[in-house]
Structure 1
Amino acid sequence: MRGFFKKLGPGLITGASDDDPSGIATYSQAGAQFGFLTLWTALLTFPLMAAIQGMCARIGLVTSQGLTVTLKRHYPRPVLYIMLLFSFPAITLNIGADIQGMGAVCHMIVPSVPVWVFCVGITAAMMYVIIQYPYRKIATILKWLCISLLLYVVVPFILTINWKNVAFNTFVPQIQWNKDFWAIIVAILGTTISPYLFFWQATMEAEDSRKGIVVDKQLMSDMKTDVNSGMFFSNLVMFFIILTTGSVLFPAGITNINTVDEAARALEPLAGKLTYLIFASGVLGTGLLAIPVLAGSQSYMLAETFGWEAGLDKKFSQAKPFYLSVVISLIVGLGLEVIGISPMKALLYTAILYGVTAPVMIIMIMHIGNNKKVMKEYTNTSLSNTLGLLTFILMTAAAVAMIWFLF
């Protein structure tokens, strides 16, 4: 067990940060609106998510560079700029929505303090931690914060649930042909297979590779264990959030969740105070986990594009533009609270935006993964290519279906 846990690193953090307040909001809305009908998506997305993140990790290890640098070196510049154009609005919106979600939950627990005070405090704390501490220390903290996600796995066992119905909806896909259903499917796919995680995974693996670690079959095997474990953990939590809200909120007729704290508050009278506190604590833990990943991935993308000195292990004086971009992204995200955009709407819009833009990124990652000039003997396996292509087809089809039903 000790050997197994030593292998866990960027893959575990990537998988856990995927279940951020944005993910919690999306999965809660899916459960509240459709009950158990979307449980099958957790089973489906696990191999797809693992395949794409595995490709990104392999690119980072082999090239010792982030995804942005690889695109800049081997592909036309417009390709890189299009990727940035698609990614930045969604990441910024995601940061803001997560800050708002955490602030709302804190206010729910301590009603005497306004939401905006908590939002400012959370943003300031994030800035301090990211700038003050090297990534290795942050990563250790992030690994422990992953435990907060296990809280969601506990909740359904406190409740009375029809497990036969759960099993049926998990293994037999249920589909409704309307805009609301396809919007939530695109949101689930988008928040699960998120473009910012592609960049983060590659960059974190590259940072390890640059420290002189020899890339060999054993390292690739360890990386695969790390990534697969992280993605399994992520999808397990997703499954149990849909299960909890689907078994509590949906039968009670609470089908529209406007804020993250509303989802937690709705659980209290129906499932008890323990469930409510577990849900709220999970939102805070996952937010603290995800925001450094979101802000860091965006800053790495900028730094790699413009050739800045970058690295969460560097001091502020060594990488000023990099850290300033982290600060700006957090401040812009915080600005969503001032504008007054609904946290739940922002979270869902973020997930849908990811769902629409991810297919473009997936094609580029697959092309890099099969490029022998870049990857040498570590090009994609036939299984990786099959799962990658299936991911592209599924996400494109879901996005087209959603747009079709909207218009």
Structure 2
Amino acid sequence: MVKKFFKNIGPGPLVAAAFIGPGTVTVCTLAGVNFGYALLWAMLLSIVATIVLQEMAARLGVVSQKGLSEIIRAEIKSPILKVLAILLILSAIVIGNAAYEAGNISGGALGMQTIFGNPTIDIGSLQLKSMSLIIGLVAFVLLYIGNYKVLEKVLVFLVILMSLAFLITAIITKPNIIEVLKGVFVPKFPEQSILTIIGLIGTTVVPYNLFLHAALAKTKWKNKSDLGYAKKDTIIAVVLGGVVSMCIIISASAIPAQDITNASDLAKGLEPLFGSYAKYFLSIGLFAAGITSAITAPLAAAYVASGCLGWDSNLKSKRFRSVWMVILGLGVLFSTIGFKSIEIIKFAQVTNGLLLPIIAGFLLWVMNKSSVLGNYKNSKLQNVFGIIILIITIFLGVKGILSVFNLI
């Protein structure tokens, strides 16, 4: 029974690994420190929205045996719209993931630094952070092997490690269960919480995950009879990912708001209250969150670029490898020299803000096409959920873009 369950684990954990990166850990930390349990309901909303969209992406991959970017190239008939869509997707996903990759590697390095310190390598006037180089090297080796099963097993292990680390940290803080349940099921909007709510939803419902999921689902499953496995895999993994995010919020709620700006500060804040064990569990969780995202972000960018440009999306093809190598290389470079590319990250946030409603809208449109999905197209209920989520993504996109330009 357990063997069969593990055999049918698919891309779900990889998708969970992709959305729980250091950015998510930081946003969840700030939500807990500043608002206690009050914003847990935003995570519940995010989980539901992510399950609905990711299930559609997985179904599209299994039934059509194509990635989402390949479908976009095939289904948009207007040459101008096609070029615009491909340019927007490439700039948002490829440039965006390069910008976020430095954060993923730095986040994983922060987790290791809390345990092992922060050794540096001096090359002339340059000071390189050795932990960032180690994480970059591990990600490179795993991606270069080019074996989906190996990648899947490593990421499943890291996701389980991350889940246990954050769950144990939350348990150590002895949360008030009644207050936690109120936070999950009773929506509240504390003063100045709107940007944090947008952040919590925005770091969970991620555009590049829709591309990653469709591409990996067609790699894992070849038959329409496997759709049940794909659905179960998506639900379990996204719920697990959501629970991990909630555990981070719960852990952060236990400490007073005192100059806590990231998960590393959270580790230091937990230590005097709950001993060094809490710090170590949190550091392991942060390391796993960083390294899993450092692997999945370049992988997603490579799938997107290959689909948009009509390349072979084989993990061992030269063009496919060249994309993830560039993304990973830039991430390692920016992380090791401590370069904070704020402008690039702002650009990525704007393009992602634009991209999410466009891709969600396109996905909803394709999921209703009999020519693509036949009898596996969306039901009326799936469309109702999809439209509600589309409205939420438009709202999030507008708010996210306005916040980048300090207009809200």
TM-score by length of 1: 0.88
Q: How many residue pairs align between the two structures?
A: 391
Aligned to 2:258: 254
- 2:161 paired with 1:157: no
Spell out, residue by residue over 1:48-83, the C-alpha distance to the aligned partner (whole angstroms, 9 max, x if none).
111100000011111111111110011133222222
Q: Secondary structure, in 3 states, of the residue corresponding to 1:376?
A: helix
Correspondence list, 1:4-403, <5 A: 4-75=5-76, 76-111=82-117, 113-114=119-120, 116-148=129-161, 149-176=163-190, 178=192, 181-209=193-221, 213-216=222-225, 219-248=226-255, 252-254=256-258, 256-257=260-261, 259-312=262-315, 314=316, 319-337=317-335, 340-341=338-339, 354=352, 357-401=355-399, 403=402
State how far apart, in whole Å, the 1-side matches of 2:83 and 2:376 are. 25
* Counterpart amino acid of residue 151 in structure 1: A
State how far apart, in whole Å, the 1-side matches of 2:386 and 2:63 are. 19
TM-fit CA distance, 1:346: 9.1
Cα RMSD (Å) of the superposition?
2.5
The runs of 5 or more residues in structure 1 that have no matched partner are none
TM-fit CA distance, 1:345: 11
* Counterpart amino acid of residue 233 in structure 1: L
State how far apart, in whole Å, the 2-side matches of 1:29 and 1:283 are. 15
State how far apart, in whole Å, the 2-side matches of 1:348 and 1:165 are. 35
Change beyond 3 A, Cα 1:160–1:134: closer
* Counterpart amino acid of residue 186 in structure 2: V
Q: Report if the CA contact (8 A) 1:100-1:343 is conserved.
A: no
TM-fit CA distance, 1:99: 0.5
State how far apart, in whole Å, the 2-side matches of 1:23 and 1:345 are. 20
State how far apart, in whole Å, the 2-side matches of 1:124 and 1:66 are. 28
TM-fit CA distance, 1:123: 1.1
Q: Report if the CA contact (8 A) 1:93-1:346 is conserved.
A: yes
Spell out, residue by residue over 1:274-322, the C-alpha distance to the aligned partner (whole angstroms, 9 max, x if none).
111011001112222222211111011112222322222x3xxxx1121
Change beyond 3 A, Cα 1:241–1:354: farther
Change beyond 3 A, Cα 1:12–1:129: closer
Q: Report if the CA contact (8 A) 1:190-1:352 is conserved.
A: no
The runs of 5 or more residues in structure 2 that have no matched partner are 77-81, 121-127
Change beyond 3 A, Cα 1:53–1:330: same
State how far apart, in whole Å, the 2-side matches of 1:254 and 1:347 are. 26
* Counterpart amino acid of residue 160 in structure 1: K
TM-fit CA distance, 1:349: 9.0
Q: Secondary structure, in 3 states, of the residue corresponding to 1:334?
A: helix
TM-fit CA distance, 1:347: 8.4
* Counterpart amino acid of residue 63 in structure 1: S
State how far apart, in whole Å, the 2-side matches of 1:82 and 1:337 are. 26
Change beyond 3 A, Cα 1:349–1:168: farther
Q: Secondary structure, in 3 states, of the residue corresponding to 1:85?
A: helix
Q: Secondary structure, in 3 states, of the residue corresponding to 2:104?
A: helix
